[in-house]
Chains A and B, each alone.
Chain A
Amino acid sequence: MKYRIWGGIVLLLVLLFAANLFLGSARIPFRAVLGILVGEEGEKTAWTYIVWQTRFPQAVTALFSGASLAVAGLMLQTVFANPLAGPSILGIDSGASLGVALVMLLCGGTVGAVTVGLTFSGYVAVVVGAFAGAALILGLIIFFSTLIRSNVMLLIIGMMMGYIASSAISLLNFFATAEGVFSYTMWGMGDFSGVSAGQLPFFCGILSVGLLLALLLMKPLNALLLGERYAGNLGINVRRVRVVLLISTGLLTAVTTAFCGPIAFIGLAVPHIARLLLGTSNHNFLLPVTMLCGAVIALLCNLISVLPGSAGVIPLNAITPVLGAPVIIYVIVNQRKIQYFH
Chain B
Amino acid sequence: MSAADLTIGYRTGRRVTRVHEHLSFRLYPGELTCLLGANGMGKSTLLRTLAASQPALSGELLLEGRPLSHYSEKERSRRIGMVLTDKTQAGGLTVYELVALGRQPHTGFFGRLHRQDHVRIAEALEAVGIAHKAQSYTAELSDGERQKVMIAKAVVQECPLILLDEPTAFLDVVSRIEIMDLLHKLAVEQNKAILLSTHNVEQALVLADKLWLLSQERGLQCGVTEDLILNHRMDSLFGRPDIQFDYAHGVYYPIVHGCRQIVVESEDDTLLHWTVNALNRRHYACVQSIPDNTSLPSLRASAPDRLLLNQSGKTTLCSSFEELLSLLVN
**B110 touching A219 by the CB < 8 A rule?**
yes
**A234 touching B93 by the CB < 8 A rule?**
no
Using A218-B111, A219-B104, A341-B91 as known contacts, list a sample of 12 further A-B pairs with CB atoms less than 8 Å apart, ordered by residue number in A: A81-B89, A225-B101, A226-B88, A226-B101, A227-B87, A229-B84, A237-B73, A282-B97, A339-B137, A339-B140, A340-B89, A340-B92
Contact with A along B88-123 (1 / 0, CB 8 A): 111111100110011011010111000000000000
A81 to B84, CA, bound (A): 17
Asked if B298 is an interface residue, CB under 8 A from chain A, the answer is no
**In the complex, residue of chain B having the shortest beta-carbon distance to the beta carbon of A337:** B139
**In the complex, residue of chain B having the shortest beta-carbon distance to the beta carbon of A222:** B101
Contact with A along B122-139 (1 / 0, CB 8 A): 000000000000000111
* Residues of chain A with a CB closer than 8 A to B168's CB: none
Q: A234-B102, A234-B157, A237-B73 are in contact. Are A282 and B139 (CB under 8 A)?
A: no
Considering residues A218, A235, A275, A341, which has the most beta carbons from chain B within 10 angstroms of its beta carbon? A235
**In the complex, residue of chain A having the shortest beta-carbon distance to the beta carbon of B48:** A229
**In the complex, residue of chain A having the shortest beta-carbon distance to the beta carbon of B90:** A225
**A236 touching B93 by the CB < 8 A rule?**
no
**In the complex, residue of chain B having the shortest beta-carbon distance to the beta carbon of A216:** B109
* Residues of chain A with a CB closer than 8 A to B98's CB: 226
CB distance from B79 to the nearest CB of A (A): 10
* Residues of chain A with a CB closer than 8 A to B80's CB: 233
* Residues of chain A with a CB closer than 8 A to B137's CB: 339
Nearest 5 Cβ contacts at the A-B interface: A340-B92, A235-B77, A281-B92, A342-B91, A219-B111
Cross-chain pairs A/B with CB under 8 angstroms, 29 sampled: A78-B89, A216-B109, A219-B111, A222-B104, A227-B88, A227-B89, A229-B84, A230-B82, A232-B53, A233-B80, A233-B82, A233-B84, A234-B101, A234-B102, A234-B105, A235-B73, A235-B104, A236-B73, A275-B92, A281-B89, A281-B90, A281-B91, A281-B92, A282-B93, A339-B91, A339-B138, A340-B91, A342-B91, A342-B138
**In the complex, residue of chain B having the shortest beta-carbon distance to the beta carbon of A151:** B89
**A230 touching B86 by the CB < 8 A rule?**
yes
**In the complex, residue of chain B having the shortest beta-carbon distance to the beta carbon of A224:** B89
A190 to B140, CA, bound (A): 41
Asked if B283 is an interface residue, CB under 8 A from chain A, the answer is no
Asked if A300 is an interface residue, CB under 8 A from chain B, the answer is no
Q: A219-B110, A219-B111 are in contact. Are A235 and B105 (CB under 8 A)?
A: yes
* Residues of chain B with a CB closer than 8 A to A338's CB: 92
* Residues of chain B with a CB closer than 8 A to A237's CB: 73
A222 to B153, CA, bound (A): 13
Asked if A119 is an interface residue, CB under 8 A from chain B, the answer is no
Asked if B176 is an interface residue, CB under 8 A from chain A, the answer is no
Asked if A223 is an interface residue, CB under 8 A from chain B, the answer is yes
**B73 touching A222 by the CB < 8 A rule?**
no
CB distance from A125 to the nearest CB of B (A): 35
* Residues of chain B with a CB closer than 8 A to A83's CB: 89
Asked if B51 is an interface residue, CB under 8 A from chain A, the answer is yes
* Residues of chain A with a CB closer than 8 A to B70's CB: none
**B88 touching A225 by the CB < 8 A rule?**
yes
Asked if A284 is an interface residue, CB under 8 A from chain B, the answer is yes
Could you tell me how many residues of chain A have their Cβ less than 8 Å away from some Cβ of chain B? 30
A338 to B86, CA, bound (A): 20
* Residues of chain B with a CB closer than 8 A to A78's CB: 89
Contact with B along A321-332 (1 / 0, CB 8 A): 000000000000
A230 to B81, CA, bound (A): 9
A232 to B105, CA, bound (A): 10
> In the complex, which residues 199-247 of chain A have their Cβ closer than 8 Å to any Cβ of chain B?
216, 218-219, 222-223, 225-227, 229-230, 232-237
CB distance from B41 to the nearest CB of A (A): 20
**B104 touching A236 by the CB < 8 A rule?**
yes
* Residues of chain A with a CB closer than 8 A to B88's CB: 225-227, 230
Q: Hey, which bits of chain A sit against chain B, CB under 8 A?
A: 78, 81, 83, 216, 218-219, 222-223, 225-227, 229-230, 232-237, 275, 279-282, 284, 338-342
CB distance from B271 to the nearest CB of A (A): 47
Considering residues A81, A83, A279, A342, which has the most beta carbons from chain B within 10 angstroms of its beta carbon? A342
* Residues of chain B with a CB closer than 8 A to A281's CB: 89-93
**A227 touching B94 by the CB < 8 A rule?**
no
A222 to B94, CA, bound (A): 12
Considering residues B80, B93, B105, which has the most beta carbons from chain A within 10 angstroms of its beta carbon? B93
CB distance from A219 to the nearest CB of B (A): 4
* Residues of chain A with a CB closer than 8 A to B111's CB: 218-219, 222, 284
CB distance from A62 to the nearest CB of B (A): 28
**B77 touching A233 by the CB < 8 A rule?**
yes
CB distance from B55 to the nearest CB of A (A): 14
**A280 touching B101 by the CB < 8 A rule?**
no
A223 to B110, CA, bound (A): 12
> In the complex, which residues 140-183 of chain B have their Cβ closer than 8 Å to any Cβ of chain A?
140, 157
* Residues of chain B with a CB closer than 8 A to A81's CB: 89
Asked if B249 is an interface residue, CB under 8 A from chain A, the answer is no
* Residues of chain B with a CB closer than 8 A to A275's CB: 92
**In the complex, residue of chain B having the shortest beta-carbon distance to the beta carbon of A278:** B92
A227 to B140, CA, bound (A): 19
Selected contact of B104 from candidates A234, A279, A341, A342, CB within 8 Å:
A234
* Residues of chain A with a CB closer than 8 A to B84's CB: 227, 229-230, 233
* Residues of chain A with a CB closer than 8 A to B90's CB: 225-226, 281
A18 to B13, CA, bound (A): 60
CB distance from B253 to the nearest CB of A (A): 35
CB distance from B288 to the nearest CB of A (A): 51
**B73 touching A232 by the CB < 8 A rule?**
yes
